[in-house]
Amino acid sequence: MNFSKMHGLGNDFVIINCINENIFLSSSEIKKLSDRHRGIGFDQLLFVEKPQNPIFDFHYRIFNANGNEVEQCGNGARCFGLFIKIKKLTKKNNISVSTKLKHLKITYFSNNFITVNMDEPTFILNNMPLLKNIIIHNFLIYFLNENIKCSIVSMGNPHCIIQVNCIDSAPVKKIGKKLEKSAFFPKGINVGFMQIINKMHIKLRVYERDVGETQACGSAACASVAAGIARNILHNKVQVDLLGGSLTIHWAGFGHPLYMTGPAEHIYDGTIYI
């Protein structure tokens, strides 16, 4: 099986071209491939496929390192876009792609910088079964029994954003692991820890569901800025510093799509026997 290894701010991916051949990997095979000691090693696996609807240029599927399929990945979207370009699968500088639940528009710039139209963020609660234990106020949710104040945002995948005074001392693993698969979020959730430097600059650490803390999470950066704008504590264009580097997020507010801009890098191509 041929593959490409790529990363977006250190959030790393294996990308497989399934346009001209059918490749199926079981959850156990994906787990083996994601092992950084005995496999290739990656945070997520991306399958590039033919469009399921002719209005799109491509479709792609996203799998976490434990083999579970997920809905969205911001850094993965940028790597997907660069993969399509360097493999000469399109001559377009603007492409439209579909994922499990959403569609994205990807624009290429020089120096491997890519902008992704992530569509409009949504602040949803309908997949949370324990609403009776929650107080909702100004896009903030209070978990009474945990004494945790956060914003819940969907970028096609779910995010729990917690504002902290300093990300260096934030209990990322402890709280992230506790909330990731709590009864509040039966399908799991990504947990972001946001430190506001000023209205145009934040720092962010992310505990991703099924993965743990990663170097970067593009969709969490989008969700964090969206939460801050909805609460009127952030400007509509924000620099987000993650462990692996920085992204620029722009959102004009409700009724408008959100845009993420940042780099993607091709590391190497390889072949592995399954």
Name the strand (E) or helix (H) holding 78: helix 74-86
Strand segments, DSSP code E, in 188-264 are: 190-198, 201-208, 212-214, 237-242, 245-251, 258-263
Q: Which of 73, 79, 150, 222 is catalytic?
A: 73
Q: Which of 79, 150, 160, 217 is catalytic?
A: 217
Name the strand (E) or helix (H) holding 223: helix 218-230
73 is catalytic: yes
**Amino acid, single-letter form, for residue 151:** S
Tell how far CA 140 is from the center of its chain.
Answer: 21
DSSP at 28: H
DSSP at 234: S
Beta bridge partners of 63: 45, 69
Tokens 């199926």, located at residue: 24
DSSP at 268: E
CB 81 within 8 A of CB 90: no
- Measure the CA–CA gap between 141 and 50, rounded to whole angstroms: 40
Active-site residues: which are they?
A: 73, 217
